[in-house]
Amino acid sequence: MHFLRNFSRNPMALTGGLLLLLVLLAALVAPVIFPADPLRIVGPALIEPFTDGHYPLGTDGMGRDMLAMIIHGAGTTLAIGVSAALTALVIGVTIGAIAGYYGGWIGNLFGRLIELFQTIPGIVFILALVSLFGAHMVLIVLIIGLVSWESIARLTRAEVMAWKKRDFILACRATGMTDIGIIFGEILPNALAPVIAVSTLSIAGAILAESGLSFLGLGDPNISTWGRLVGDGRNMITSAWYISAIPGVAIVVTVFALSLVSDGLGEILNPRLRR
């Protein structure tokens, strides 16, 4: 309750949250208002948006309903973003916590591992892995997660390093608690706030990564995400710009909303900024 009140008082978090809610709502109502396959051809091709009441956002080059595709795309796009971010969160927090908690060679090894991943250009790595393992949706989620855990790990590492020096950690060790118990039971609950804020942002990053992949035609061909819609419109960008632009706007709005929420969460969850 406390959290919700703070959330609603933070203008950034509130704006972002409402926009996200809109996207989520679209994803939820998609099967109700457009029960049929959104990729099926429904009418004449290339109806401009806002000219035909039946197709408010027009149709694409093959006569498919833009609105139906956008609304159906919301769910898949969000799902991919969230699952990829969760994958990154699990990998990042685990590696970051180990790197931060243990000194000596273990800490060093994991610290270097983080730095190694920091130097690899994400999108190139994703392209390499996708062309290697194929473009199944689950694989794409895992690959995006595998490439984007590094920022979460770096943050977790820094937080854990700061918290492990606190007296209560010494007190916990003095009562005989195990390292694992201390890391997950005592340190991470303290360190999680900024990590959550950054993870929200990594949902946005994952959506962008998937969009880029689909735009290049390397996404899962069986599902329709916003990135794929942008890619589909690529050939006609000079004659029918809106085919790419409409899903593009959807991506921009969602990513923007996510970064607002992330910034807002950073402020709300930071005890030093809390009133």
| Residue from 175, 222, 238, 239 in contact with another protein (CB under 8 A) | 175
> Whose Cβ is closer to another protein: residue 56's or residue 185's?
185
Q: Is 173 near another protein (CB under 8 A)?
A: yes
Give the dihedral of Cα atoms 82, 87, 89, 94; nearest 10 deg: 170
Report the residue from 190, 194, 245, 253 that binds another protein according to the rule CB under 8 A.
Answer: 190
Nearer to another protein, 164 or 228 (CB): 164
Q: How far is CA 44 from CA 31, 104, 135, in A?
A: 23, 67, 31
**Does the protein bind another protein through residue 137 (CB under 8 A)?**
no
User: Can residue 3 be called a binding residue for another protein (CB under 8 A)?
Assistant: no
The region, left, alpha or beta by phi > 0 then psi within -120 to 50, assigned to residue 11 is: alpha
CB 167, min distance to another protein, A? 4
Single residue of 135, 177, 196, 236 touching another protein by CB under 8 A? 177
Q: Smallest Cα–Cα separation from 254: which of 192, 217, 194, 210?
A: 210
Which member of 181, 235, 241, 249 binds another protein (CB under 8 A)?
Answer: 181
Dihedral sign of CA atoms 52, 55, 61, 66 in order: positive
In whole angstroms, give the CA distance from residue 99 to residue 218: 34
- For another protein, how many residues bind (rule: CB under 8 A)? 19
CB of 157 to another protein, least distance (A): 16
* Site for another protein contains 171 (CB under 8 A): yes
59 phi and psi angles, rounded to 5 deg: -125, 160
Nearer to another protein among residue 35 and residue 271 (C-beta) = 271
The least CB distance from residue 112 to another protein, in Å, is 17
Question: Is residue 2 within the footprint of another protein (CB under 8 A)?
Answer: no
Residues in contact with 191: Cβ distance below 8 Å, sequence separation at least 6, in sequence order:
156, 159, 160, 163
The least distance separating another protein from the CB of residue 171, rounded to whole angstroms, comes to 5
**Residue 271: partners with Cβ closer than 8 Å, 6 or more residues away:** 193
Contact 136, 210 (CB under 8 A): no
Site residues for another protein per CB under 8 A: 103-104, 166-168, 170-178, 181, 185-186, 189-190
